[in-house]
Amino acid sequence: MKVLMLNGSAKQNGNTYRSLLEVGQQLEKEGIEYEIFQIGGGLVRDCIGCGQCTEKGCVFEDDKVNEFIRKAKEADGFVFGTPVYYAHPSGRILSFLDRVFYSGGSAFQFKPGASVAVARRGGTTASFDVLNKYFGISQMPTVGSTYWNNVHGRVPGEAEQDEEGLRTMRNLARNLAWMLKCFEKGRETGISLPETERGRQTNFIR
């Protein structure tokens, strides 16, 4: 089993990365592989609603969106990490995930997901709430911890001082590993995925 994590910070080795690393190291102790996928500081396009998605993902190939979708198809669970900007997730992770889910949402169905928010001080719970909405619309069980999945730190390295935050990351990893193992046992015993009703989308309530 493997968990794919997304570092939504432009900083490769900042506090968001450190928080995800704490999750990953605990996952390894639980027998689960992990990979931290870096958005990095390069260009990330917004979704423009062009409707040109293909079986490969987004029509635009000049950033890492389709690479992430390919990896997501092989992953069993997910953790999305973001720094907090103005009490909100980074714009780059939202642009990235909008296109990922719009063009490759089927790669995430019925796989557990968790979000992690990292801030100097405030805005973590609002950012945490925004990222969790991707899970709710995609039939993804959401993984919690012993507190909201938040870590505090401003400059790289300060996350090391947030003892409670890192403990929350480890407990998050344990909960995610437990859920993945339960799902695996369910598949082994023949429990099938739930049926999903599809139909015409409405723009108002009649």
Write down the residue that tokens 């909008």 correspond to. Answer: 98
What is the tens place of the pLDDT at every residue in 89-142?
999 999 999 999 999 999 999 999 999 999 999 999 999 999 999 999 999 999
What ranges make up the beta strands (E) of the chain?
2-7, 33-38, 77-85, 88-89, 113-119, 150-152
**Predicted confidence (pLDDT) at residue 72 exceeds the cutoff of 80:** yes
Q: Can you tell me the distance from the alpha carbon of 152 to that of 23, in angstroms, rounded to the nearest whole number?
A: 15
Q: Can you tell me the distance from the alpha carbon of 136 to that of 142, in angstroms, rounded to the nearest whole number?
A: 8
Q: Can you tell me the distance from the alpha carbon of 205 to that of 171, in angstroms, rounded to the nearest whole number?
A: 41
- For the chain, percent of residues with pLDDT exceeding 90: 93
Rg of the Cα atoms in the chain: 17
pLDDT for the residue 206:
62
- Tokens representing 201 are 């989308």
Q: Which residues contact 102 (CB under 8 A, 6 or more apart)?
A: 47, 53, 58
Q: Can you tell me the distance from the alpha carbon of 145 to that of 160, in angstroms, rounded to the nearest whole number?
A: 19
- pTM confidence score: 0.95
Average pLDDT over residues 61-68: 94
**Predicted confidence (pLDDT) at residue 205 exceeds the cutoff of 80:** no
Secondary structure of residue 2 in the 3-state scheme: strand
User: Measuring CA to CA, which residue among 144, 152, 57 is closest to residue 107?
Assistant: 57
Question: 77: pLDDT confidence band, cut at 50, 70 and 90?
Answer: very high
**What single-letter amino acid sits at 150?**
N
What distances in angstroms separate CA 138 from CA 88, 100, 176, 205, one per listed residue?
21, 12, 17, 22
